[in-house]
Structure 1
Amino acid sequence: MATGFEIHDLVWAKMKGFPAWPGKIIEPKPEVKRPANNKKVHHFIFFFGSENYAWIPEENIYLYSDHRDKFKLEKRIPKGFKEALEAIEDELKEKPFIKTFKTKELPSIDEELAQIFPGKPSGSPQKDYTREPLKGKKKKRTDAGKDGNKSMETQNTVRRKRMSNSDDNPKPKKAKVIAKVTGSPSKITLSPDHKLKPKIRAELPSPRPEHNLPMSPPSHSYIQASLSPGNASASTQIEETLLKVKPVAKPSIIPTPMRIGFLGLGIMGQGMVMNLLRSGHEVTVWNRTALKCRDFVKSGAFKGNNPAEVVQSCDITFSCVADTTAVKDLVFGNYGVLQGISKGKCYVEMSTIDEETMQDVAEAITARGGVFLESPVVGSRVPALEGQLIILAAGERKLYDECYSCFEAIGKKSLYLGADIGAATRMKLIVNMVMGTVVAGLAEAMAMAEKVGLDQEDVAEVLSVGALSCPTVIHKSQAILSQRYDPHFPLQHQQKDLRLALLLGDKVEQPLYVASAANELYKKARRLGYGESDISAVYRAASN
């Protein structure tokens, strides 16, 4: 079949539901299945910046040299897009000649969604299985799988070594433990002498022999960063205090003998992983910015090369990433979670995303024989470091019980809200809606106090000793007074949660007047450049 493209052509390529992305046509990889639709011409695309691959229909491919500036984004630029542009420009400079021809214009995301889902409003979330076609209907599983059903014996001391490539050694069983995770919030205390488990291992052992998953090649940027650690920016490294902070004292935690995986080492993930390691759990970590894994490996963690490898080598894998787009990429992308799922593998999604996407992920996991639990957490950076988060869970009850020791390590309380996937997400969005409106009200109060001639410190003191006194009001008041907005809970994430809460309200026709007004204030703060600052930076929008 005639085609206007050749191997090594530099192109703009568009997947359903995503913006056009810089890429290159390459030789197909045998581990990535060809599309079932043979009527359309497809090309195998390598996407710059994301290190992902996909089969894309020729009608959704644009020659880069002909349309160099056509699809460049000026606002709402996704992660990796700038790096992708730099990479394709560098490769373009090395080309001996530039090929040109005309193709028809690619549709926008909204136009494409309107064609795929006629009659549906453009703003409604849609399933996105374009990265990995799925088959099978959603099934309610009552069996958590051979690994998920294994329990442990209650012991005074549990010492474990990572198993080799063999399944011959059965795991010890445990009795079901029913108890509350106790502990009260306290201030962070530094302890220079505090040490973690002495084990230091940098390589992930080979996965179990029945699975043969191809490993993704390391990117050039990762190799370069590994060779030059001194060039890393502060945003790609774990904070020094993280290794020294003492969690709140808790009763002795007996760690599960199961292998634990953790995907995502952001503000929340760093604290949770460190507390899992401190409590004796065996943890394998992965992060899109690989350099962030370095200090956790020094503290006793294993490092996975990609999400699929982590899922494949672990019994229970947790994930905590920024938003819906990140979750879709993590689960459905090349070498993603879904490619590592097999019968009995357990996956716990802790990210705060929309209910529909959470259900899509659950359906995809269970369709492959996996076991799923949604488990968003309530709390910010300090509770994550102290192990004082509140865990909201819904889904497979047996998996919730198997996660007991992990939840005990990272939180002060965990709640099981039932088998209905989405219940925990709805609870989290409501809680964060309250948080957002409270801090927005505080910001407006402090701004008005200044304009009517009151001392803001006096306002903060009155609030701290009255009925409105709570950690949120006290801490955010101090942040406003000091004008320091170190991100304990990034403002852009709060605005995202308010937006999702408003969508949930629309779905059930619940008016949300206060939350709607607060959302506009956070949107203004983001336009002012405070998206990555703490939630308290909403004051800058209120006073501007």
Structure 2
Amino acid sequence: MTVYARRKENPAGARTNRAALIGIGSMGLGMAMSLRRAGFEVAGFDVDAAAVARLVDEGGRGAASPAEAAEGADVVVSVVVNAAQTEAILFGANGVAETMAEGAVFVSSATIDPDVVRRLATPLEATGRLYLDAPISGGSVRAAEGALTVLASGSPAAFARARPALDAIATNVYELGDEPGVGAAFKMINQLLAGVHIAAASEAIAFAARQGLDIRKVYEVITASAGNSWMFENRVPHVLDGDYTPRSAVDIFVKDLGIIQDMARSAKFPVPVAAAALQMFLATSAAGMGRDDDASVARLYAKITGTELPPPANLTKPA
């Protein structure tokens, strides 16, 4: 495994590379801005026309389809949610596989099953293009700062072609293997822990409220104690402020923990803690909060137990 830190600035006089960015949500827009700062010409596509307009406002070029965005690009960065979207971007109508430059690299950041990654990579690489399996971690703020972490695997040629773009979007890039799929497997371990930690943090803060404790004081004490986790420290403030703006939605973990269940079943490996967390995310989604912030698991606990939490401040129909 190799880890490298990005170069902070593009050298003066460096050539301008052509990049395409498919999926211009909060993460994708931040990544596009980072690519622009590094000297890339960025063309982007999103199904949401307003997202494309935001890219144009930041100096990028809007495109009417993935194929148009990828035309002649050296690197195509895909920032979508799942395997079906990734496959459609590659091989569907107006897909990028035929318009990418010969020898260009497709950088896939979606969190998907490692076996599916390999299934997608094989036909793309048969066309003379490259596939880098590159799930990301860090959130929208770090995306805008060019400070993501990338868990990547692929051929040496794919890494070499993608390196300028990786330097632009990330401070740490883990080179985890020489074929696609390894990065996805690493990301699943991260998602198992992240999902369990969010569910546990939600359970703990709702239970504290049920006990009549000052939950702001609970947050202060736990973040200075052994029971703290990154997810407790990051997500509980959403509960305290009643702010369920979806930085990461409940349904993301329904998907990711579901993939982990499938992988574990295939490997005949028990994951009972992850399974319990999945049930809480599923129940939260079923209660109408699937598109809300994943800290909404705490709202589910409150709802089913009659516990009072700070009311949602940014929802038209509080759950």
**TM-score where L is the length of structure 1:** 0.53
1:480 aligns with 2:239: yes
1:298 to 9, 34, 57: 57
8 Å CA contact retained: 2:10, 2:38: yes
Q: 1:332 to 1:471 in 2, by over 3 A?
A: same
User: How far off is 1:504 after superposition?
Assistant: 1.2
User: How far off is 1:445 after superposition?
Assistant: 0.9
1:436 aligns with 2:195: yes
Q: Which residue of 2 aligns with 1:268?
A: 27
Q: Distance in 2 between matches of 1:360 and 1:414?
A: 23
Task: Name the amino acid aligned to 2:256.
Answer: D
Q: Distance in 1 between matches of 2:239 and 2:3?
A: 39
1:349 aligns with 2:173: no
Q: 1:498 to 1:473 in 2, by over 3 A?
A: same
Q: Which residue of 2 aligns with 1:399?
A: 158
Q: Which residue of 1 aligns with 2:291?
A: 532
More helix by share: 2
8 Å CA contact retained: 1:341, 1:369: no
| Higher-Rg member (1/2) | 1
Q: Distance in 2 between matches of 1:457 and 1:419?
A: 46
1:180 aligns with 2:4: yes
Q: Which residue of 2 aligns with 1:325?
A: 84
Determine helix, strand or coil for the equivalent of 2:183. helix
Task: Name the amino acid aligned to 1:495.
Answer: V
Q: 1:349 to 1:251 in 2, by over 3 A?
A: closer
Aligned residues: 300
Determine helix, strand or coil for the equivalent of 1:488. coil
1:458 to 213, 217, 220: 217
Q: Distance in 2 between matches of 1:448 and 1:266?
A: 34
CA deviation map 1:95-130 (0-9, x unaligned): xxxxxxxxxxxxxxxxxxxxxxxxxxxxxxxxxxxx
Q: Distance in 1 between matches of 2:16 and 2:259?
A: 37
User: How far off is 1:361 after superposition?
Assistant: 1.4
Task: Name the amino acid aligned to 1:253.
Answer: N
User: How far off is 1:472 after superposition?
Assistant: 2.6
Task: Name the amino acid aligned to 1:262.
Answer: L
Q: Which residue of 2 aligns with 1:109?
A: none
User: How far off is 1:470 after superposition?
Assistant: 4.8
Q: 1:348 to 1:251 in 2, by over 3 A?
A: closer
Task: Name the amino acid aligned to 2:72.
Answer: S
Q: Distance in 1 between matches of 2:40 and 2:170?
A: 15
User: How far off is 1:477 after superposition?
Assistant: 1.4
Q: 1:355 to 1:251 in 2, by over 3 A?
A: closer
Unaligned residue ranges in structure 2 (runs of 5+): 305-319
Q: Which residue of 1 aligns with 2:127?
A: 368
CA RMSD of aligned residues (A): 2.0
Give % identity. 27
Task: Name the amino acid aligned to 1:406.
Answer: A
2:147 to 388, 397, 409: 388
8 Å CA contact retained: 2:197, 2:229: no
User: How far off is 1:505 after superposition?
Assistant: 1.1
Q: Which residue of 2 aligns with 1:499?
A: 258
Determine helix, strand or coil for the equivalent of 2:213. coil
**TM-score where L is the length of structure 2:** 0.88
Q: Which residue of 1 aligns with 2:8?
A: 251
User: How far off is 1:420 after superposition?
Assistant: 2.5
User: How far off is 1:467 after superposition?
Assistant: 2.9
Q: Which residue of 1 aligns with 2:310?
A: none
1:310 aligns with 2:69: yes
Task: Name the amino acid aligned to 2:89.
Answer: L
1:514 aligns with 2:273: yes
Unaligned residue ranges in structure 1 (runs of 5+): 1-177, 183-249
Task: Name the amino acid aligned to 2:223.
Answer: S
Task: Name the amino acid aligned to 2:177.
Answer: G
Task: Name the amino acid aligned to 1:366.
Answer: E
1:335 aligns with 2:62: no
8 Å CA contact retained: 1:262, 1:317: yes
CA deviation map 1:210-258 (0-9, x unaligned): xxxxxxxxxxxxxxxxxxxxxxxxxxxxxxxxxxxxxxxx732346633
8 Å CA contact retained: 1:307, 1:340: no
Q: 1:480 to 1:179 in 2, by over 3 A?
A: closer
CA deviation map 1:394-448 (0-9, x unaligned): 1122221232232222112001111132110011111011001001001111121
User: How far off is 1:502 after superposition?
Assistant: 1.3
CA deviation map 1:243-301 (0-9, x unaligned): xxxxxxx7323466331111111231111111111222211111122332123223221
Q: Distance in 1 between matches of 2:220 and 2:55?
A: 40
Determine helix, strand or coil for the equivalent of 1:395. coil
1:409 to 164, 168, 192: 168
CA deviation map 1:312-350 (0-9, x unaligned): 321111111121221222222111123325642321111
Q: Which of 526-535 and 462-471 deviates more?
A: 462-471
Q: Distance in 2 between matches of 1:342 and 1:300?
A: 22
Mapping 1:270-285, distance limit 5 Å: 270-285=29-44
Q: Distance in 1 between matches of 2:255 and 2:172?
A: 25
User: How far off is 1:471 after superposition?
Assistant: 4.2
Q: Which residue of 2 aligns with 1:175?
A: none
User: How far off is 1:542 after superposition?
Assistant: 2.1
Task: Name the amino acid aligned to 1:252.
Answer: E
8 Å CA contact retained: 2:3, 2:175: no
Mapping 1:23-172, distance limit 5 Å: none
Task: Name the amino acid aligned to 1:180.
Answer: Y
